[in-house]
């Protein structure tokens, strides 16, 4: 990795990647990066000031004319080489993700694979940018659309998918001919720095992709700088709303994906084994730190709820939890930081105070000899919609069971929640499933699929307060977001148009 080492060589110093080079600045503030499974400080990441962020924007601006002039085929070839380089460095990046984020190694590999699929999608850019053509829209007049790059694009990403979420953005943006400044999460910046190096090795010109590590100061610079044309954001809802309003007020195109509270409705006719397995992976995988994690099981009828809790309880109590770098076959790692662990534990305290039934208490689980940020899987039953543990995003290994009497109440409950990222229904009734997918006010729907994350060639995005802005990420919406449409109307006959000059609004027969 191109991170600059400190004089002591003990702790990595992670700077920025600007104009094709790993770099740091004397003005950088520094922040510790921890291994969440051990609590050890593994690196210090630089936090850029306004001037350093501005340097990255300038590098991207300077690279724009050259990179946007490369043919779509030429840009696709860089993406093909980048894909091969990610594959060559696959294990190294996956281990880095586990070391900084805490998710188990198999999960880190899964994240990287899903990110790589967006690169594969971007490899098809010549086809995706073909546009539309209409022959003879009027007498000898033809019309066609052109999809041109937007300009300098910025990406601001969360901690929970340090490789995949940046890859939701930059492969499509670059393939469309834009240049890019990425501001990754300060909690796990390592993967972004490796990807910057690999893009250079793949043949991307210097300055076309830059990484600025930082916090609010660098984000605010990106949001207000007149040379940034578009901002993609993924993170929590209050920040997403701030990014959308501030970026839009400064004339930028913005897509800002926010938080979630994803419900899984379990109908009485569902295959209960399948529902239990689905819930376990979707609620506790990655310690619940996924925007598509299921955090609410909506049991339709008391019998369903009792069956779910009875089957989930022993499995949740015995989840295989540990350090993903040392063991394989684990189901869950630690939470990302000590502060986040305290926050999630606080929600478990709150659930008890609010009167929910604590079926499995993850606070009681022992992790002897570990200084990591571990919490056992937690299961609440008899959760009601007024409780804060139901309303708010906990983002930890905590599943709430809400009991409803029938299908209509399940749909009403889900539709009334402020978030609308993902949802699922488990049923064997095709009619109910079809009705659910139509009625539900949520952007991504699973039918007997607990985590319905769309593939790279479809688009990813929620509804309600889970997304600010009209366009989702990657797939067709990604190409729309990173291009400006221009429509050309052309006439090539000799001589003056029949009827001479047109003083009225032109119409075509």
Interaction between residue 466 and ligand NAD (CB under 6 A): yes
What is the rounded CA–CA span in Å between residue 54 and residue 283?
40
Nearer to ligand NAD, 129 or 231 (CB): 231
Question: Of 81-89, 191-199, 229-237, 367-375, which segment contacts ligand NAD by CB under 6 A?
Answer: 229-237
- The length of the chain in residues reads 509
CB atoms within 10 A of CB 307: 18
Question: Of 145-153, 178-186, 302-310, 431-439, which segment contacts ligand NAD by CB under 6 A?
Answer: 178-186
Alpha carbon 324 to chain centroid, angstroms: 22
Interaction between residue 421 and ligand NAD (CB under 6 A): yes
Interaction between residue 78 and ligand NAD (CB under 6 A): no
Nearer to ligand NAD, 222 or 359 (CB): 222
Nearer to ligand NAD, 291 or 410 (CB): 291
Question: Of 30-38, 123-131, 257-265, 370-378, which segment contacts ligand NAD by CB under 6 A?
Answer: 257-265
Report the residue from 58, 186, 225, 331 that binds ligand NAD according to the rule CB under 6 A: 186
Alpha-carbon distances, residue 301 vs 30, 49, 305 (angstroms): 53, 55, 7
Interaction between residue 295 and ligand NAD (CB under 6 A): no
Report the residue from 149, 258, 376, 396 that binds ligand NAD according to the rule CB under 6 A: 258
Interaction between residue 478 and ligand NAD (CB under 6 A): no
Interaction between residue 259 and ligand NAD (CB under 6 A): yes
Residues 331 to 350: which contact ligand NAD by CB under 6 A? none
CB atoms within 10 A of CB 44: 18
Q: Of 123, 153, 176, 291, which residue is the catalytic one?
A: 291
* Cβ-closest position to ligand NAD: 235
Least distance between ligand NAD and beta carbon 479 (Å): 18
Nearer to ligand NAD, 99 or 299 (CB): 99
b/e map 444-470, b = 16+ CB within 10 Å: bbbebbbbbebebeebbbbebbbbbbe
Task: Find where tokens 């044309």 sit.
Answer: 229
Nearer to ligand NAD, 98 or 466 (CB): 466
Interaction between residue 185 and ligand NAD (CB under 6 A): yes
Least distance between ligand NAD and beta carbon 162 (Å): 10
Candidates 509, 483, 374, 493; CA nearest to 153 is 483
φ, ψ for residue 97, nearest 5 deg: -65, -45
Residues 232 to 251: which contact ligand NAD by CB under 6 A? 234-236, 239
Interaction between residue 462 and ligand NAD (CB under 6 A): yes
What is the C-alpha end-to-end distance of the chain, expressed in Å?
A: 63
Interaction between residue 219 and ligand NAD (CB under 6 A): yes
What is the rounded CA–CA span in Å between residue 134 and residue 185?
45
291 is catalytic: yes
Alpha-carbon distances, residue 23 vs 29, 55, 197, 447 (angstroms): 14, 11, 12, 47
Tokens of 470: 């009209």
Report the residue from 206, 215, 361, 392 that binds ligand NAD according to the rule CB under 6 A: 215
Question: Of 172-180, 181-189, 190-198, 501-509, which segment contacts ligand NAD by CB under 6 A?
Answer: 181-189
Which letter does DSSP use for residue 332 in this model?
Answer: B
Nearer to ligand NAD, 47 or 300 (CB): 47
Question: Of 8-16, 211-219, 296-304, 365-373, which segment contacts ligand NAD by CB under 6 A?
Answer: 211-219
Least distance between ligand NAD and beta carbon 487 (Å): 32
Candidates 1, 17, 15; CA nearest to 44 is 15
Nearer to ligand NAD, 100 or 393 (CB): 393
Nearer to ligand NAD, 80 or 457 (CB): 457
Report the residue from 216, 363, 391, 486 that binds ligand NAD according to the rule CB under 6 A: 216
The strand ranges marked E within 15-95 are 16-18, 21-23, 29-34, 41-47
Tokens of 37: 């499974």
List the x/- string, 368-397, binding to ligand NAD by CB under 6 A. -------------------------x-x--
Nearer to ligand NAD, 447 or 453 (CB): 453
CB atoms within 10 A of CB 384: 13
Q: How many residues contact ligand NAD, by CB under 6 A?
A: 27
CB atoms within 10 A of CB 186: 18
Which letter does DSSP use for residue 257 in this model?
Answer: E
Sequence-distant (≥ 6) Cβ neighbours of residue 369 within 8 angstroms: none
Instruction: Considering only CA atoms, give the Rg of the chain.
Output: 25
Alpha-carbon distances, residue 40 vs 107, 176, 286, 331, 481 (angstroms): 21, 41, 20, 22, 40
Least distance between ligand NAD and beta carbon 187 (Å): 7
Report the residue from 283, 291, 399, 411 that binds ligand NAD according to the rule CB under 6 A: 291
What is the rounded CA–CA span in Å between residue 291 and residue 278?
16
Residues that bind ligand NAD (CB under 6 A): 156-161, 165, 183, 185-186, 215-216, 219, 234-236, 239, 257-260, 291, 393, 395, 421, 462, 466
Catalytic residues: 291
């Amino acid at each position: 990795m191109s991170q600059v080492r400190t004089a002591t060589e003990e702790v990595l110093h992670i700077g920025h990647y600007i104009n094709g080079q790993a770099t740091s600045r004397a003005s950088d503030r520094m922040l510790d990066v921890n291994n969440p499974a051990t609590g050890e400080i593994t690196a210090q990441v630089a936090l850029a000031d306004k001037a350093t962020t501005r340097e990255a924007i300038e590098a991207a601006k300077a690279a724009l004319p050259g990179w946007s002039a490369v043919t779509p085929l030429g840009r696709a070839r860089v993406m093909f080489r980048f894909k091969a380089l990610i594959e060559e460095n696959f294990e190294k990046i996956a281990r880095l993700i586990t070391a900084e984020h805490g998710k188990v190694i198999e999960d880190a590999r899964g994240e990287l694979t899903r990110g790589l699929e967006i690169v594969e999608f971007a490899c098809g850019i010549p086809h995706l940018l073909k546009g539309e053509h209409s022959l003879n829209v009027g007498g000898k007049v033809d019309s066609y659309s052109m999809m041109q790059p937007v300009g300098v694009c910025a990406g601001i990403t969360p901690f929970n998918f340090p490789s995949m979420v940046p890859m939701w953005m930059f492969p499509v943006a670059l393939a469309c001919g834009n240049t890019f400044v990425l501001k990754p999460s300060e909690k796990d910046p390592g993967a972004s720095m490796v990807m910057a190096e690999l893009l250079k090795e793949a043949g991307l010109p210097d300055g076309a992709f830059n990484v600025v590590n930082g916090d609010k100061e660098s984000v605010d610079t990106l949001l207000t700088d007149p040379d940034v044309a578009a901002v993609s954001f993924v993170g929590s809802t209050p920040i997403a709303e701030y990014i959308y309003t501030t970026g839009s007020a400064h004339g930028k195109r913005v897509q800002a994906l926010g938080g979630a509270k994803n419900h899984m409705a379990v109908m009485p006719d569902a295959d209960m084994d399948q529902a239990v397995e689905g819930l376990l992976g979707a609620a506790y995988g990655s310690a619940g730190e996924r925007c598509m994690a299921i955090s609410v099981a909506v049991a339709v009828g008391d019998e369903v709820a009792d069956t779910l809790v009875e089957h989930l309880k022993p499995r949740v109590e015995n989840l295989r939890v540990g350090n993903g770098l040392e063991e394989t076959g684990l189901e869950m790692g630690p939470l990302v930081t000590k502060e986040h662990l305290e926050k999630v534990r606080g929600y478990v305290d709150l659930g008890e105070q609010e009167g929910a039934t604590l079926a499995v208490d993850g606070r009681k689980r022992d992790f002897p000899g570990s200084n990591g940020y571990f919490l056992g899987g937690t299961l609440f039953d008899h959760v009601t919609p007024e409780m804060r543990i139901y309303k708010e995003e906990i983002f930890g290994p905590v599943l709430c069971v809400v009991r409803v009497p029938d299908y209509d109440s399940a749909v009403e409950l889900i539709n009334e929640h402020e978030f609308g990222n993902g949802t699922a229904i488990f049923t064997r009734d095709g009619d109910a499933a079809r009705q659910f997918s139509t009625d539900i006010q949520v952007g991504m729907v699973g039918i007997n699929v607990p985590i319905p994350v769309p593939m790279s060639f479809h688009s990813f995005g929620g509804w309600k307060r889970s997304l600010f802005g009209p366009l989702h990420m990657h797939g067709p919406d990604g190409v729309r977001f990173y291009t400006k449409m221009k429509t050309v109307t052309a006439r090539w006959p000799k001589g003056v148009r029949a009827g001479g000059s047109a003083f009225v609004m032109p119409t075509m027969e």
